[in-house]
Amino acid sequence: MFSVTALGELLIDFTDAGTSAAGQKLFERNPGGAPANVLVALERLGMSTAFIGKVGQDMHGEFLRATLVANDVNCDGLVMDPNHFTTLAFVALTEDGERTFSFARKPGADTQLTPEELNRDVIEDSRVFHVGSLSLTDEPARSATVAALDMAKAAGAVMSYDPNYRDTLWTSPAAASEQMRSIVHYMDLVKISTEECELLTGRADPEGATAELLRQGVSVACVTLDAEGALVATREGTATVPSFRVDAVDTTGAGDSFWGGFLCAFVDGKLEPSDVTLEDAKDLARFGNAVASLCVRQRGAIPAMPTLAEVEKVLS
């Protein structure tokens, strides 16, 4: 059984890499896509993972597939599309490591996954099934996502969700909110950012947002608070888990590495969502914070994911 299977976008992050001798901006090609980032984080931490999604049958798609294979992520559910180009994201960085995005995705191959292309065997053989919301922006990937969620839920998988909102990929905030909220009822474990609180729940404050997610049936809700750490919530209450202070070089993949660490600790603890106590959730978030503190010290997302030994050193 796979520890975690994720469905969603697999793309290229062209990350700001300074300027050329001629004064032109340079971009460094890095493999990315939030669900794939989470899986590589998990693999580096010793978990078994599988990816479901679609890339173009082009130089970037081949590079992405090779990257997942090199990181031991199962690719039986990865489809190579000869008719659509691999999605590209151009990432500009500020001096403190924060990002702005520009996407080449009209349409990108990741939006073209169909329900018929889903690998049912992989989905049904997963302890945790994880999705984001970018596969909900367009058809047919939206229908494929819902079909996969139905399969995973019926098979008894623990359901995990990180919306990973990117405003330029939606027609409007209202459209994003509607689709992002449409799959919450499937979920056991949910991670959101402060920006996503109101979009997903109608409550802008993290405490109110997590309370609303729990009201809708989520067992453990988590809000990442950037450099301040994370807020976790269970039916026992809420708690803030402080971050490990570091000088960030690049925050690309910070939330994904955090959630990879959180899911790793959840699986390793052999927990059931409904049994997670507030103390358990704090421990899971502390492990996630340690993973994220190492990821942001390097450029890129997938290349920066740390090993279990590195994380244990931070925790000790």
Find how far residue 211's CA is from the centre of its chain: 22
DSSP string, 186-222: G-SEEEEETTHHHHHHS--SHHHHHHHHHHTT-SEEE
Average pLDDT of the segment spanning 192-197: 96
CA distance 89 to 67: 17
Element (H, E) at 130: strand 126-131
Cα(277)–Cα(240) distance, rounded to whole angstroms? 14
* pLDDT, position 184: 98
- The token pair at 78 is 């990865």
| Structural domains of the chain in order of their starting residue, each with its CATH number | 2-8+33-84+106-315 (3.40.1190.20)
Cis peptide before 35 (omega within 30 of 0): no
**Rounded Cα distance, 90 and 12, in Å:** 8
Residues 6 or more apart from 112 whose CB is under 8 A from it? 54, 81, 83, 84, 140, 141
Helix locations, the chain, DSSP H: 34-44, 59-70, 120-124, 141-154, 173-181, 196-201, 206-215, 254-268, 278-295, 308-315
**Spatial separation of the C-alpha atoms in residues 228 and 245, rounded to whole Å:** 9
> How does pLDDT run across 250-295, given as a tens digit for each residue?
777 889 999 999 999 999 999 999 999 999 999 999 999 999 999 9
3-state DSSP assignment of residue 74:
strand
8 Å CB contact between 71 and 40? yes
The pLDDT tens digits for 99-115 are 678 899 999 999 999 99
pLDDT, tens only, 45-82:
999 999 999 999 999 999 999 999 999 999 999 999 99
Residue 241 CA to residue 230 CA, distance in Å, equals 5
User: Model-level pTM?
Assistant: 0.94
For residues 206-228, one letter each, b for 16 or more C-beta atoms within 10 angstroms of the residue's C-beta and e for the rest, the string is beebbbbbbeeebbbbbbbbeee
Handedness of CA 144, 149, 152, 157 (dihedral sign): positive
Strand ranges across the sheet with 99-104: 25-32, 11-19, 88-93, 99-104
Q: What's residue 252's pLDDT?
A: 74
Whole-number mean pLDDT of the chain? 94
DSSP at 82: S
Partners of 190 in the β-ladder = 161, 221
